[in-house]
Amino acid sequence: MRTALVREPGSRLADGIVTHIGRSDIDLSLARGQHMAYADALASAGWEVYPAPAADDCPDAVFVEDAVVVVDDLAVLTHPGAPARRGEISGVEQAVLELGLRTAHIAEPGTLEGGDVLQVGTTVYVGRGGRTNAEGIRQLRALLAPLGRTVVPVPLGEVLHLKSAVTALPDGTFLALPHLVPTGLFPAVRPVEEEGGCHVVPLGGDRVLLAASAPRTAELLADLGYTPVVVDIGEFEKLEGCVTCLSVLVSR
């Protein structure tokens, strides 16, 4: 089972939350085209694209990663730190149940968003910042301990989510923006200069998905022996989105 859970952009996409950048105009038609191309890239890499139910009243619902954390056969439905995003959860729960996953929930007073959760082997790094709090991390740790996972909290500064600042390559090395995340918590860090360069999604084999806004990082990946799968997500980057935000990969 190699399924990529996605959610199409709704008509209110332009009203999505921006926190650490200024607001820019969003071209909805262009965004929808970019999202289709993103889904096509996943399909070309061997992932079955599975759409979550539309959530047109939730502008940020396209960033489906924040609504659920999948570990083995368990889907942990999150409790977003941004209250306006909590309406996104029910449709994603419906989708993961259709995929045959067990479910659990993060509950008040805990907050957790999937963009703060980076899984590398049996270690789960969780950013503690504006969207995820200590209680949310505690609840996630309790849910994942029976699955043999170790949860490592990571303090965040002026950055939206952990994976806005660091992600990992298939070999276990990390791509990071050193000024946004304490790199000493991660082994084998490769600092990058492009913001889009620290957002990558391993697709299996030597394929690694990344944004067109990081051409130098794409060259680095090629030099390391990977095949960069480059997608233009410029309209979503205007809302602090990245390639990790737009899908949840379920491999069983």
Catalytic residue among 79, 161, 198, 199: 161
Using alpha carbons, list the distances in angstroms from residue 18 to 1, 110, 204: 35, 22, 31
Which class for 29: exposed (0-12), middle (13-18), buried (19 or more C-beta within 10 A)?
A: exposed
For the chain, the C-alpha Rg in angstroms (whole number) is 17
Q: Is 199 a catalytic residue?
A: no
Distance, CA of 3 to CA of 7 (rounded, Å): 13
3-state DSSP call for residue 77? Answer: strand
Catalytic residue among 58, 198, 242, 245: 245
Q: Is 161 a catalytic residue?
A: yes
Give the list of residues 6+ apart from residue 18 with CB closer than 8 angstroms, or none: 238, 239, 240
Instruction: Give the catalytic positions in this structure.
Output: 161, 245
